[in-house]
Structures are given as structure tokens and as C-alpha cells.
A = this chain, B = another copy of it.
């Protein structure tokens, strides 16, 4: 019943796309004139006219007379009613950022943000999970990039070949690597096969947690 029967006019569609893009880029909506400039619409009143159209279709919301008072209405297309229902969601505490120069904080921060992900994406064991955002390039890899969110399970031992957050005592830094125990030493193998492994004494490493999921945001 939501769906408008008539198809969205070319120009309205373009404006909507521009709005979405602009807001994403700038964090605030554009002015009528900016819209016009971007889409080669020479008259502010024309833009106004289209905006009114978009508003009538329920695609955007506007605050009259206030500058940049445009807001995208969540979801023009079907489905997304974003029901919070399902109850199958895990709240994983977000501990902050993982940087090479500091060990992972053991305690959750006071405010405790969380990352919500639904349980179906995990295996059975959902204990001891926590999330960190990767910052900086020191542990970058084909698999792990700057800005990625990694979800780890807190444990101090991992199986050979599993990826873990590792604290190196001597270097005083944290890194994300695949871990292989080789007698008295440990081989830390980047996930990227073209990168060289590093070897450290077994007593120099402290496993901080096993990486169970990597979430990469590609764009906004």
C-alpha cells in the first residue's frame, strides 16, 4: 500500500540519489541551490517543485523554512520496516580500537557501546565475545584492513592456524595474525600469503583473543 503506482520521474530520482549521496558525504543535507547546481537545475523554484514532489511521495521529509531541513524517510522500497523483534540478536561489547601500540583493554569501557549482530551468524559458543575496530596499518593484511571491525572471543590459547589478537611483550604491541606453535617459538603468519611470517619466542606472546569474525565496511 505504500508503493506509489506511477514511476518516480527521472529528475526526482536523481535528486533523491543526490540527497542520499550528499548526506552521506557531508553529514548534513544540501541546500536547494546546491541541489540545483549539482543537477543542472538553474532555478531554485524548480528544485523546490521537485522536492515537493518527493515529499508528497513520502520519500523525504522537510522542515519548512529551515535551511537544509531535508531528511530522507527511511525506506522507499518494500521490506525494511526494521522490526527490532527477532530476539535472536547478540549484543557484543565494543571495547574500542585495537592499535598496535597498546594492549587490548580487558575491561569494557564505561559507556559500553555494543555491536548487535544476530546469533545466526555465529556458531554455538557465544561466550566471551567482544568487538574491536582496527585502527592504523600495522596489522593490515589482505584480510584485515584499517577500519574493519573484528569480533574476537576472549581466550588465551588458540589452535594452530587460527587468527588471533596477539600481544608481543618485547615489541610492546598488538597485532592480528595467524598463530602456529612451533616448539619453543611461535610463528605469526599474516593472512596475506605474500607477506612474510615473523617468529617470536613462545613466552613473548600473549594471546588476547581469537578472531571469529571480520566485518568490513566498504563504503558508506
Interface residues on A, range: 35 or more
Q: How far is the CA of A218 from the CA of B150 in the complex (A)?
A: 10
Contact B29 A27 (CB under 8 A): yes
**Chain A residues near B (Cβ < 8 Å):** 17, 20, 23-24, 26-29, 31, 61, 63, 67-72, 74-93, 96-97, 107-118, 120-130, 135, 142-143, 149, 154-155, 162-163, 210-220
Contact B67 A68 (CB under 8 A): yes
- A125 CB to closest chain B CB (Å) equals 5
Please tell me which one of the listed residues B71, B81, B110 contacts residue A80 in the complex, with CB atoms under 8 A apart: B110
Contact A27 B124 (CB under 8 A): yes
Contacts of A81 in B (CB 8 A): 91, 110-111
Which one of A90, A118, A122 has the highest number of Cβ atoms from chain B below 10 Å of its Cβ? A118
Task: Given the known inter-chain contacts A28-B69, A81-B111, A215-B215, please indicate yes or no for A23 contacting B88, CB distance below 8 A.
Answer: no
Contact B75 A20 (CB under 8 A): no
